[in-house]
């Protein structure tokens, strides 16, 4: 059974901006002690830590390339040293580089493979070995694995791999009381999504959703908080958090 006498602890990769930042803020508001992971912008992570601690929460910043197993082991170590253990790992870290398959730059494919696939393996392996009973690993995919928009081929290939890693790890952790799920956001107003798109493209994607708006990072954070806390019977699933985008 989950120990409810001590605060739960979460490590959020890519936690200094975008969806990751909203996840950190939501989990901190829910009473989690949070390790805010960053890859390159320590100042943003430190500012978020200061914001959380100023509001009475507990947080630290941890750095490292998610695809580097030694750097990420150190991030897990630092989290355990600060808070005594880890209950939830949320792996939001990822990059998105768009191109038609016919003209794909293979250097960009390799970059996405390293961060999105190797990074998912590194973080998932560490989580599998370090999460406490009652814990949760939450990886990130994308709704474009189903909508199949042009130019997303290489990115979607990397995220489809993340879904497969998630589904299989959930079954490999039988008996450990650890859930493993993936969240697949739809169009969400983050710098990663908005970069390189003009207003017409953005409005077109917003109108494609039955709710006729882009998602906000807070919308995605609500789903993560559900999987991180009360959703103990949701396991081995991909949750499409996309406003009904078909």
Catalytic machinery residues: 155
Q: CB atoms < 10 A from the CB of 70, how many?
A: 10
SS (H, E, C) 112-170: HHHHHHHHHHHHHHHHHHHEEEEEEEEEECCCHHHHCCCCCHHHHHHHHHHHHHHHHHH
Torsion sign (Cα): 244, 183, 233, 32? negative
Per DSSP, the three-state class of 88 is strand
- 118: which 2 tokens? 């190797």
- Give me the residue label for tokens 């559900």: 226
- Pull the structure tokens for residue 110: 């390799």
């Amino acid at each position: 059974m989950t120990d409810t006498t001590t605060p739960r602890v979460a490590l959020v990769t890519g936690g200094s901006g975008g969806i990751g930042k909203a996840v950190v803020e939501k989990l901190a508001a829910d009473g989690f002690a949070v390790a805010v992971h960053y890859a390159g912008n320590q100042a943003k992570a430190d500012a978020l830590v200061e914001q959380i601690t100023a509001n009475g929460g507990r947080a630290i910043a941890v750095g490292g390339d998610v695809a580097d197993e030694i750097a990420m082991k150190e991030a897990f170590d630092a989290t355990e040293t600060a808070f005594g253990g880890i209950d939830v790992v949320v792996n939001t870290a990822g990059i998105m580089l768009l191109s038609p398959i016919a003209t794909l730059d293979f250097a960009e494919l390799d970059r996405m493979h390293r961060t999105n696939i190797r990074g998912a393996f590194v973080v998932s392996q560490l989580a599998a070995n370090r999460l406490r009973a009652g814990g949760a690993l939450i990886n990130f995919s994308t709704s474009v694995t189903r909508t199949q928009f042009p130019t997303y081929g290489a990115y979607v290939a990397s995220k489809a791999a993340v879904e497969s890693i998630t589904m299989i790890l959930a079954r490999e952790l039988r008996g450990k009381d650890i859930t493993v799920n993936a969240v697949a956001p739809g169009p969400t107003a983050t710098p990663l999504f908005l970069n390189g798109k003009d207003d017409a493209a953005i409005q077109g994607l917003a109108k494609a959703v039955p709710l006729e708006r882009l998602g906000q990072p807070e919308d995605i954070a609500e789903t993560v908080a559900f999987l991180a806390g009360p959703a103990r019977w949701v396991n081995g699933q991909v949750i499409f958090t996309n406003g009904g985008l078909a």
